[in-house]
Amino acid sequence: MTDELDRAAATCLFPSFDGIIAPDWVRRWLERGLGGVVLFAQNIESPDQVSSLTRSLRAERRELLVATDEEGGDVTRLEARTGSSYPGNWALGVVDDLPLTEEVAASIGAELAAVGINFDFAPVADVNSNPDNPVIGIRSFGSEPALVSRHVAAFVAGLQRRGVAACAKHFPGHGDTSQDSHLELPLVGGDLDQGLAPFRAAIAAGVRSVMTAHVRVLPLDDEPATLSPRILQELLREELGFGGVAITDALEMRAISASLGVEEAAVRALGAGADALCLGAQVDEQLVESVHRVILGAVTSGRLALARLLEAAARVSELAAWAARPSPEPPRPELGTEVARRALEAHGNVRISGPPLVIELRPPSSIAAGEPRHSLADVVAASERIVLREGEPIPPTDGRPVVIVVRDAHRHEWQREAVERLVATVPRAVVVEVGLPRWHPQGARWIATQGSGRANLEAAAAALTEARGV
């Protein structure tokens, strides 16, 4: 029983690691039964390198879940350096073409399968019903439950056609909040049934995994969802009938770790009904050892039922067996170009006369997306690119064409004020909103890209340099 217990606890762990080559400690843990690993941008350099990495991992254990966050749009790991070839969910919702959403997801799945990644933490199933949401926003398909539900189902179908397990997140809904669970414990408001609708659709579509949210939903429980038997067992399992893998959002996130620590959170999440424990982006062997040891101690003391741990490990193993048979097909990145073009809104004559000065008004980035490494200036042949943060002075424009890039300007007063000043000074300036297009300066020329993936930015560049506008 000791060996079985040791291996079951390891199967429930999903750590990350530093670097583009798996360290020796990861290989040792694979021998002990580690259920999966999570790749972040820090692990990804090129497709060939990722393929080599995943092959080396599976040389230790064939049926291994290799996971990442490949949502398209703002959240990409495979293309973190250049920006995603695919617009994100919001653009797909704007276009509202379900077969196209399914094909985009299938293409993303094909790219993941080609490099050995078989578990995608996508799609986001949150309804972005609160426009002040700092972490979901354009990662959602939209603000209407019915729209989000049908696109979540289509995305799940497309991704899993390629043998890549989909993961609907963040259960039971992170859309109606104005706080970021990476930094604090949010309180979710709004209509619970509307927030649950996309998860019902995902389950009906056969989604293999659901990710828990580090949020409180007071009509259900005072505990965070990740730690709540009422939410994970009674609601997710019994009421909604989900039988797949429930995986936690990263346990290092401050919504959980600030009060409990990762080890205690791991035990309580398993006890509540989670099967797989995503440890986070900053993980080393010491943390894995510590979490594993505390889980074993909880079972030995009776605080965590052995049957619950074995059930969790069995679900993870079942998913790994399913995902060991990918269905590789050539990806179709041109679909991203089509979606971006169809989603883009251009108001007024947005054509510019020459290489522009691109002024980016950049708010703090969300931890989920990370600091962007790509820019509209990269694809529009800018004469100069200037990044301004809150409180920094606006530079002289020297008579050049000016393109002003904003993100979620409706949430940032300083961006709106800066845009108004620039537009007053440079009447022919063009404003490009790469976040939620809920605000624009009156009388100005502006573009809404519906996201900041490379495909979105290339569509905006085409609009700026071609004679088009509405």
Among 127, 177, 121, 169, CA closest to 148: 127
Rg of the chain (C-alpha set): 22
Q: Which two tokens stand for residue 370?
A: 């990370």
pLDDT reported for residue 451: 95
Share of the chain above pLDDT 90, in %: 78
Active-site option among 249, 275, 374, 412: 249
Query: pLDDT tens for residues 55-106?
Result: 999 999 999 999 999 999 999 999 999 999 999 999 999 999 999 999 999 9
Share of the chain above pLDDT 70, in %: 97
Output the pTM of the full model: 0.95
Instruction: Identify the burial level of 87 via C-beta atoms within 10 angstroms of its C-beta, where 0-12 means exposed, 13-18 middle and 19 or more buried.
Output: buried
Q: What's the length of the chain? A: 470
For residues 316 and 248, is the Cβ–Cβ distance under 8 A? Answer: no
Looking at the DSSP bridge assignments, the partners of residue 117 are none
CA distances from 67 to 121, 254, 280, 343 (A): 7, 22, 12, 29
Query: pLDDT tens for residues 155-213?
Result: 999 999 999 999 999 999 887 776 666 667 777 877 889 999 999 999 999 999 999 99
Looking at domain 2-322, its CATH superfamily turns out to be Glycoside hydrolase, family 3, N-terminal domain (3.20.20.300)
Q: Which residues touch 155 (CB under 8 Å, ≥6 apart)? A: 89, 92, 101, 102, 104, 105, 122, 123, 166
Say whether 182 is catalytic: yes
Q: Which two tokens stand for residue 148?
A: 């989000």
Query: pLDDT tens for residues 321-380?
Result: 999 988 878 999 999 999 999 999 999 999 998 899 999 999 987 767 677 778 999 999
* Annotated domain spans of the chain: 2-322, 344-465
Q: How many angstroms separate the CA atoms of 204 and 73, rounded?
A: 25
Average pLDDT over residues 14-31: 96
Active-site option among 174, 182, 292, 374: 182
Above 60 in pLDDT, residue 298?
A: yes
At residue 47, the 3 state secondary structure works out as helix
For residue 172, is the peptide bond before it cis, meaning its omega torsion is within 30 degrees of 0? yes
Say whether 374 is catalytic: no
Q: How many angstroms separate the CA atoms of 308 and 221, rounded?
A: 21
Q: How many angstroms separate the CA atoms of 38 and 248, rounded?
A: 12
Q: How many angstroms separate the CA atoms of 69 and 342, rounded?
A: 25
Tell me the average pLDDT of the chain: 93
Q: How many helices (H) and strands (E) does the chain have?
A: 16, 16
Query: pLDDT tens for residues 220-272?
Result: 998 999 999 999 999 999 999 999 999 999 998 877 877 788 999 999 999 99
pLDDT reported for residue 178: 67
Q: How many angstroms separate the CA atoms of 29 and 12, rounded?
A: 12
